[in-house]
């Protein structure tokens, strides 16, 4: 496909060029195995070149009138809108995303670009009083300089853009490393959009590479002051450790094990719809997905019957078919891992109301219940189409079960009494929770992030200003200070 081969390059200092590594990253369609592109990996030397290019370009960009920076982002938005059908096709081909998922991702991407346009004008300074006579304290908001962005495979266009666009809007330069399974949608596609929007060379660099080639160069390099990472908590811990050792700020959006709680007074049909979407959207490859669906025993039988029936009706198949609701997992390793997890959990005593099977990278949905309280699967993130149904007796037990996880990203509570839902939600140790809705939500101006092993820091809205700028105090003494010697 020429679309993919045209973008199968490194993008460094405004130049499209092959990587100098001795091996290639192969970009496959996860549904049919078609080879989309082959990209020679970037070396540690090329990562250095990308960061140095960013460093050279950044100060002039920071000094650029923010209205001019805003204009570039406005052009980027228009380009995304004009190329939306082509980008959607790329998401279907490279990720195995369904048409529904591609539309969802692009809708959010446009909303986040619109917010980034506004962010260019958002940083404001302060003048603070001083106890010293004649002194004026000015506090400036200034760009951090260069930001390193590492994005995941599940929503690569959105989650790359989500850090890249605000960082640029606020006057920074960026080096982006997309996931190896989505180098185009998560990387070079963004570079092309911003290049065509008139972003000066060097401000956005994309390196397609792997830790096997560059080690921790991306993290340890002296130029970037902030690393924005979205991915697993295992890798996130490593990123945090390396950043701390090098005195860098890390913004970490990590995994989840969210609970969707259905209280005894909930609208069962509506809760079923919310739970099915929250668990199975994009094959369950979503950090906010409802891994655990907690149901009050008073309505367990009705909920379970309707939930299983709805899940069984989902269409599994070719993501290019608009009727498909469940497409492939990103690669064979993920598909094998999910199938093995289901088999092991059933062997350990769980009951499979639906036992999904793998056909290549397609894995049909599973629904498991009757899990032992100490089942390891209750503690972990499941990045695939597997739902765990867990009964409870009353709010207190629901809260205890929901909190019994090392994660704390998202969640939901279903109830006829909104304030009851809010009270329960306040007791869940999570960064985000939704009353009478699904668990999978993101909006441009709300603080997005998790507690515990689900991350550090927040993104979106004013949180972007906190993430990608720093404060600088300049005092002015209008009189004369008195010095003790």
Two tokens at 199?
Answer: 């972003």
pLDDT along the chain (485 residues), means of 10: 90 98 96 97 98 98 97 98 97 97 97 96 93 95 98 98 98 98 98 98 98 97 98 96 98 97 98 98 97 98 98 97 97 96 95 96 98 94 97 98 98 98 98 98 96 96 96 95 90
Residues 6 or more apart whose Cβ sits within 8 Å of residue 12: 42, 46, 49, 50, 53, 205, 206, 207
Which residue's entry shows tokens 């650029």? 64
Spatial separation of the C-alpha atoms in residues 401 and 259, rounded to whole Å: 9
Transcribe 284-340 into DSSP letters. G--TT---EEEEEGGGHHHHHHHHHHHHHT--BS-TTSTT-SB-B-SSHHHHHHHHH
**Taking a C-beta distance cutoff of 8 angstroms, is the pair 51, 206 a contact?**
no
Question: Sign of torsion, CA 449 51 64 68?
Answer: negative
From residue 1, how far is each of 8, 17, 153, 331, 366 by CA, in Å?
11, 19, 20, 20, 34
Please state, as a whole number, how many other Cβ atoms lie within 10 Å of the Cβ of residue 291.
Answer: 27
Beta bridge partners of 477: 135
Known catalytic residues? 253
What integer pLDDT is reported at residue 1 of this predicted model?
57
**Taking a C-beta distance cutoff of 8 angstroms, is the pair 425, 408 a contact?**
no
The pTM assigned to this predicted structure is 0.96
CA end-to-end distance (rounded Å), the chain: 75
* Nearest residue to 251 (alpha-carbon basis) of 104, 466, 29, 37: 466
């Amino acid at each position: 496909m020429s679309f993919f081969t045209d973008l199968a390059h490194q993008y460094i200092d405004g130049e499209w060029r092959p990587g100098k590594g001795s091996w290639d990253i192969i970009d496959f369609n996860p549904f049919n195995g078609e080879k989309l592109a082959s990209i020679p990996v970037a070396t540690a030397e090329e990562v250095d070149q990308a960061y140095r290019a960013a460093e050279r370009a950044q100060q002039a960009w920071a000094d650029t009138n923010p209205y001019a920076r805003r204009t570039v982002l406005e052009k980027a938005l228009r380009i995304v809108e004009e190329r939306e059908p082509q980008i959607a096709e790329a998401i279907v081909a490279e990720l195995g995303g369904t048409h529904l998922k591609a539309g969802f991702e692009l809708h959010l991407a446009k909303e986040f670009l619109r917010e980034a346009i506004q962010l260019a004008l958002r940083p404001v300074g302060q003048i603070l009083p001083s106890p010293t006579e004649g002194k004026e304290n000015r506090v400036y908001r200034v760009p951090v300089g260069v930001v390193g962005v590492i994005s995941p495979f599940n929503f690569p266009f959105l989650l790359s853009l989500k850090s890249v666009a605000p960082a640029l809007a606020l006057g920074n330069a960026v080096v982006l490393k997309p996931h190896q399974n989505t180098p185009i949608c998560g990387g070079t596609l963004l570079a092309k959009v911003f290049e065509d929007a008139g972003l000066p060379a060097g401000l956005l660099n994309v390196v397609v590479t792997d830790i096997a080639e560059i080690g921790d160069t991306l993290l340890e390099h002296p130029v970037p002051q902030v690393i924005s990472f979205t991915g697993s908590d295992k890798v996130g811990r490593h990123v945090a450790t390396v950043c701390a050792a090098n005195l860098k700020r890390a913004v970490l959006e990590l995994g989840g094990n969210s609970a969707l709680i259905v209280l005894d007074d909930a609208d069962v049909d509506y809760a079923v719809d919310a739970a099915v979407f929250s668990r199975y959207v994009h094959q369950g490859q979503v950090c906010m997905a409802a891994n655990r669906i907690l149901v009050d025993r008073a309505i367990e039988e009705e909920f379970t019957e309707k939930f299983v029936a709805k899940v069984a009706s989902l269409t599994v198949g070719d993501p290019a078919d608009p009727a498909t609701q469940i497409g492939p997992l990103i690669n064979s390793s993920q598909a094998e891992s999910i199938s093995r997890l289901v088999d092991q959990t059933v062997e350990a005593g769980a009951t499979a109301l639906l036992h999904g099977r793998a056909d290549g990278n397609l894995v049909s949905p599973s629904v498991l219940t009757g899990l032992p309280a100490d089942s390891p699967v209750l503690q972990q993130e499941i990045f695939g189409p597997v739902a765990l149904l867990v009964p409870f007796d009353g709010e207190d037990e629901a809260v205890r079960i929901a909190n019994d996880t090392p994660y704390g990203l998202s969640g939901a509570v279903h109830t006829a009494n909104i304030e009851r839902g809010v009270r329960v939600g306040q007791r869940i140790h999570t960064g985000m929770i939704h009353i009478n809705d699904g668990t999978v939500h993101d909006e441009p101006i709300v603080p997005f992030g998790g507690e515990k092993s689900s991350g550090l820091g927040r993104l979106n809205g004013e949180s972007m200003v906190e993430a990608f700028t720093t404060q600088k105090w300049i005092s002015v003494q209008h009189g004369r200070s008195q010095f003790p010697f």
